[in-house]
A and B are shown apart, each in its own frame.
Chain A
């Protein structure tokens, strides 16, 4: 193959195949440019940057939806719809389109939410939306990364704007401190991850995930000299550190409560939903990418080697999940600040999600249908988590605008003055506990069922049983702190200096909270539709 045909082949691949399937990211990138232009050019000053961003997000969601349709129609054919883009750096498959649509749809809701809640103001809007759009672009790449270099770039692209967002409330000491803490932790985690990637690449000779798996299986399976295995394990653990940081998994969660408390509720919503969705998608990609070969046709030495690799990965993820979930729930007890409480709740939910990742990893390569269901459970969880947590932070923001406080104690007796918001809070928090008939229950039910499936049909059953029991106990102990908020809102007496607001008045903020809470009920009762899409996302694990 000469240089000319290589160049023309690359150009052809990029223009004909990759770019059309990359249009969601392109739209977001164009929106970033537009938002910046709107600020720079005097002619476009009148344009509200929020509306530009909203337009871009809507456009991206529309493309995302169209891509989902394409993949959905292709799935019945053998192998589903899977294309490698840009020479294998990215992969476009059902998981990509699902998570990308989720992120784009989240962006739409999120921008509406920030417009309603009033942070950022018009002056700061352009900065804010550029950062949000840029981070989302990075998250889209995380969901579709197929190459360890891409993994690193995507994680950094999602993180760096987040550091700036954390410090967005300029002049607030807590926000600056949170941003600094976040950036320092993030830089440390990124360095470790990059080191891990270089170790893996050095031993395996490639960073392309599907090629890595085969090589990894061969090396582990042949049981070569211990040194290589040691380096590989170390590399895997270091890679996990970077991911755990994004997931706010224990012991890399310390930034989470401080950042959430210091930054505005709007930023907490972004970090807890979008960032988490992308990180979970990436975790699934890595577990499947490193633990299975694409066509599932591993045999002999490679198959036994990959089984060992999966065993390692499942233990790392599973034990981290147990610690994350338990610590998040226990630490949430003592919190008096609502945002801090939600931060620990986010940590705990990251734990539940990682339990699902562990189950998916245990089922991968053993029970293909079970693995697909496990990924579908995660996809469903992310879909409902979007509404639950966005609604929770929207409530915090709305109440902050009314009460000028984010302390739980200041919510006392709120049911007397704002019964609508209290009902919405009840729905959201009870859904976060995981009680039927709300969406959070279904999500938890699906995660638990993939764990039970893994107990029944894989070699990892002791670990899965432990995870299942820990998950069950955590559900019970999480009851306390969520209910405490409701208790304060309903049982406690109203402070005397609080004046009742005119009843029955429809407010934009109330409408937003209601619009976010309704899906939480809806997906708890009629979840067949969303689960259908989640199953589509799961079908990537063929």
Chain B
């Protein structure tokens, strides 16, 4: 790579370092340079790596903290794709090393690096095969970060799959008693989803044709780098426009532009009588909802979460579930908007079913960790509902200002759930490390024995409950409000679910933390929280409160990008479905969100 590339693509090295530094350190650790017995050293090296990656991502995402804005740093409030890195990879298939972030992916990147840092710190009690554990952990981090920053579908898929194997071993070797079953189940479900995704990717690729895009669209999609000289850009555009054969692409931005054309090739193509955009939407959706997960493909989650060691549960709940939501928001809707419009009822329905089912299932659990796992199913249901109302057209009313609200709410819910669920799993882990059981009915009286821990834990659980003033509330209320415009029934059910959520969380708090005294096994091991544990729990609790009282901190990132996408799709809907009744002006998306925020 020449210096000129570094100048025209300032994010090349920082963004690549965020993604690949963990993998490089993992490779070095895997070599027999550091002896296996130096466990403490391996732990510190891994912690330092995750810390460096976290600081790097923070430097990128929040320039204000680090002084003046640099060219490789994120501009808050800008809606479009930023810090784009583009390098040819496999020219024969026009596969590119194409990275970039926007307001949707940047917060998720920081969430990932942050939770990886905390999870690495939470890995200190791991004593079995320490070296292998940390190598796999770092590989996992590379996979997760790669998914969030890839803008090339092939690259996205590669990173998506890279996560599977480390996760399989992390659950299968360091997990609980039923770890083998849980590990293979996780692998199998996800692989099934990703094979379907691969089929959709190939179908979209071979249907795509870059020649249909205008020069402006080609530049916006970074097919032709906007950093080039005007003459070089014109040449590149001309080369595409005059090609004799269709030029296929894996570029996600270009696929989205193609999918939103009035004469979209995906809408025109038919497979077995179904238009490709509906079929591809469905295939991709199945691949993503398995990860989210929604009922009925959620059954891998309770097993995987329960059997996984505490740090891996934190990563699973905090980051891996978000990959599904991210995929839906980044790929499903923009690339196949027609499919989204047709199948809105499916997405919303799945969301509400998971919400209710997850909450009832959580109520029925006696295993503390399993209860938290089901609460994740329930909470991710809000994400699905929020994303689903995006494309919703209820009855004779076309209220797309509500879409923006729903998607913003879903995004916020994903981030908030990242903090609160990771925190809840960590809190369960702290107890499990001491008393080696998780039976809700054998706890009680923890408040007396571990007061500091119990206070932090209750705060995190309240955040999960969605108490106003804590981070869980904002997303839920935005989603519920937006769903009202789509279907009153669904909105009522999702509002009703909050009661169930309060039910299982309060009941769990009562059974675990309250009560006179601890009567379960290993009572003598209930020592106060250690400094390491405190250092992990405190930031999570702090952020849960901070984002609860100042959600703008996140909305400043999220809203511009989300609104832009919603507005584009609203225009698209207006073009392809002129029969829809008149709808509010576009400016009101912002207003709708502001109204909702002010109303809380």
Contact = CB atoms under 8 A, between A and B. Distances in A.
Interface of A: 369, 415, 419, 423, 426, 430, 435-437, 441, 445, 448-449, 452-453, 455-456, 465, 468-469, 472-473, 475-476, 479-480, 483, 487, 490-491, 503-504, 527-528, 531-532, 535
28 contacts: A419-B132, A426-B165, A435-B164, A436-B157, A437-B162, A445-B198, A448-B198, A449-B93, A449-B206, A452-B202, A452-B205, A452-B206, A455-B203, A456-B203, A456-B206, A456-B207, A468-B199, A472-B196, A472-B199, A473-B195, A475-B191, A475-B195, A483-B168, A487-B180, A490-B173, A528-B90, A531-B90, A531-B92
Nearest to B129: A415
Interface in B186-201: 187-188, 191-192, 195-196, 198-199
B161 interface: yes
**Interface of B, helix, strand, loop or mixed by DSSP:** helix
Interface string B511-555: 000000000000000000000000000000000000000000000
Contacts of A528: 89-92
B92 A532 contact: yes
Contact of A479 (B162, B180, B191, B198): B191
Contacts of B157: 436
Given A452-B203, A476-B188, A531-B90, 12 more contacts: A437-B161, A445-B198, A448-B198, A456-B203, A472-B196, A472-B198, A475-B191, A476-B195, A479-B188, A479-B191, A487-B172, A487-B184
Interface string B152-166: 000001100110110
B175 to A, nearest CB: 10
B174 to A, nearest CB: 10
Given A491-B173, A527-B90, A435 B198 contact: no
Given A490-B172, A531-B92, A369 B206 contact: no
Contacts of B92: 528, 531-532, 535
B30 interface: yes
B271 interface: yes
B272 A430 contact: no
A423 to B, nearest CB: 7
Contacts of B30: 423
B501 to A, nearest CB: 35
A535 to B, nearest CB: 7
The DSSP consensus for interface residues of chain A is: helix
Interface residues of B, number: 39
A535 B93 CA distance: 12
A50 to B, nearest CB: 31
A369 B168 CA distance: 40
B486 interface: no
Q: Which 4 A-B pairs have the closest CB atoms?
A: A436-B158, A452-B202, A472-B195, A436-B161
Given A476-B195, A531-B90, A531-B92, A435 B202 contact: no
Nearest to B175: A491
B91 A369 contact: no
Contacts of A423: 30
A535 B92 CA distance: 9
Given A449-B206, A456-B207, A476-B191, A369 B245 contact: yes
A502 to B, nearest CB: 12
A430 B158 contact: no
A430 B165 contact: yes
Nearest to B135: A423
A526 B180 CA distance: 33
Nearest to A420: B32
A227 to B, nearest CB: 38
Contacts of B165: 426, 430, 435
A456 B199 CA distance: 13
A339 to B, nearest CB: 24
Interface in B124-160: 132, 157-158
A531 B92 CA distance: 8
Contacts of A455: 203, 271
B187 A479 contact: yes
Nearest to B95: A528
Nearest to B184: A483
Nearest to A446: B93
Nearest to A477: B188
A480 B191 CA distance: 11
Contacts of A465: 271-272
B198 A437 contact: no
A449 B272 CA distance: 18
A456 B142 CA distance: 35
A491 B180 CA distance: 8
A415 B133 CA distance: 13
Contacts of A448: 198-199, 202
B526 to A, nearest CB: 32
B169 interface: yes
A388 to B, nearest CB: 16
Give the most central of B36, B187, B269: most A CB within 10 Å. B187
Contacts of A535: 92
A465 B165 CA distance: 29
Contacts of A419: 132
Contacts of B90: 527-528, 531
Contacts of A475: 191, 195
A419 B89 CA distance: 32
B180 A449 contact: no
Contacts of A430: 165
B32 A504 contact: yes
Nearest to A437: B158
A449 B248 CA distance: 12
A93 B92 CA distance: 22
Contact of B162 (A436, A445, A456, A527): A436
Nearest to A453: B206
Given A456-B207, A476-B192, A449 B202 contact: yes
A483 B195 contact: no
Interface string B103-121: 0000000000000000000
A131 B158 CA distance: 42
A441 B161 contact: yes
Nearest to B180: A491
A452 B207 CA distance: 10
Contacts of B91: 528
Nearest to B195: A472
Nearest to A369: B245
A437 B162 CA distance: 7
Contacts of B199: 448, 452, 468-469, 472
Given A475-B195, A528-B90, A535-B92, A480 B202 contact: no
Contacts of B93: 449
Interface-centre pick from B90, B180, B188, B206 (highest chain A CB count, 10 A): B206
